[in-house]
Amino acid sequence: MTNELKAVPRHVAIVMDGNGRWAKKRFLPRFFGHKAGVDVLVKVVQACIDRNIEHLTVFAFSSENWKRPSDEVSGLMGLVLAAVSRYLARMGSMGVRIRIVGDREAVSAKLRNAWNEAESATCHNTKLTLSVAFNYGGRWDIVQACKAAMLAGVPPDQLTEAKLSEFMAMSYAPDPDLFIRTGGEVRISNFMLWQVAYTEFVFSDCLWPEFGEAQLDAAIQAYRDRDRRFGGVKAAPAVVAA
């Protein structure tokens, strides 16, 4: 891939980790870290638009986050509901299309309705697609795609990687080029397992509420410096006959 093609990742995926520790450092309840995290997300969406990034996918609530204390879970649900009503119009005027990925069955009808409203109000926007992974897990996605393919009657001998991709929750987006995880942990935590096969990873010690344009640009620069071969080899220099 040429440097020109690599200049801007088309799709950036982010695990926004470190909200709890950010709040703890300030002797605040964890909820305040998540609240600060929402405001940072809005700024990062704008920064991605400014850099011509087409897709931003963020991990807002994993299938495993239900294990957290019930007050934190309900706090996060309330925060997301409040964020939809506070930021939906702004996202619309920024040209953002919102998509929600994840199992919607377990969330409240109120939150489901808010998601539906956010998706339908922004469905014609084209500047950037913000996919919010909520009650999402990479393994859940693979299983739901297999079930959907079976229900659609795809015969086993026609179930190729490309065919299964059509049933994945994010079939509308290219695979992420760049995966960023803040908060110092070096793991995927069940995020987009199928889609990150050839994604470039950047792990940052920065806590999510402290993330900004400088950290985004550093991650993009690290991505540009990588040699993406997608399992192939670097093209050999042309041999000139004597």
- Does 18 bind ligand FPP (CB under 6 A)? Our answer is yes
| Alpha-carbon distance values, 14 to 58, 107, 137, 166 (Å) | 5, 22, 14, 22
Crossing angle, helix 213-225 and helix 30-50, to 10 degrees? 60
Q: Among residues 82 and 143, whose Cβ is nearest to ligand FPP?
A: 82
Q: What angle do CA 41, 47, 53 make, to 5 degrees?
A: 105
| Catalytic residue list contains 17 | yes
- Interaction of residue 98 with ligand FPP, rule CB under 6 A: no
Say whether residue 168 binds ligand FPP (CB under 6 A).
no
> Could you tell me if 135 and 106 are in contact, meaning their C-beta atoms sit under 8 angstroms apart?
yes
Q: Which of 65, 103, 125, 190 is catalytic?
A: 65
Least distance to ligand FPP, CB of residue 106, Å: 16
**Nearest CA to 59 among 119, 12, 117?**
12
**Under the criterion CB under 6 A, does residue 20 sit at the interface with ligand FPP?**
yes
Residue whose entry in the numeric block shows the structure tokens 């956010």: 118
| Contact string (CB under 6 A) for ligand FPP, positions 56-95, x = contact | ----x----x--------------x--x------------
Check binding of 34 to ligand FPP (CB under 6 A).
yes
Q: Is 190 a catalytic residue?
A: no
Cβ–Cβ under 8 Å, residues 17 and 62: no
Q: Could you say which of 13, 47, 183, 215 contacts ligand FPP (CB under 6 A)?
A: 183
Nearer to ligand FPP, 44 or 149 (CB): 44
Amino acid (1-letter code) at residue 148: A
- Number of residues interacting with ligand FPP: please give it, by CB under 6 A: 16
Q: Give the range of 37-45, 112-120, 188-196, 229-237 binding ligand FPP by CB under 6 A.
A: 37-45
Site membership for ligand FPP, residue 112 (CB under 6 A): no
Catalytic residue among 3, 17, 116, 125: 17
Using rule CB under 6 A, residue 19 touches ligand FPP: yes
C-alpha 58/C-alpha 91 separation (Å) is 15
For residue 96, give every residue at least 6 positions away whose Cβ sits within 8 Å of its Cβ, in sequence order, or none.
45, 49, 122, 125, 127, 128, 129, 130
- From the list 32-40, 90-98, 187-195, 226-234, the region that binds ligand FPP by CB under 6 A is 32-40
Rule CB under 6 A: which residues touch ligand FPP?
A: 16-21, 34, 37-38, 41, 60, 65, 80, 83, 132, 183
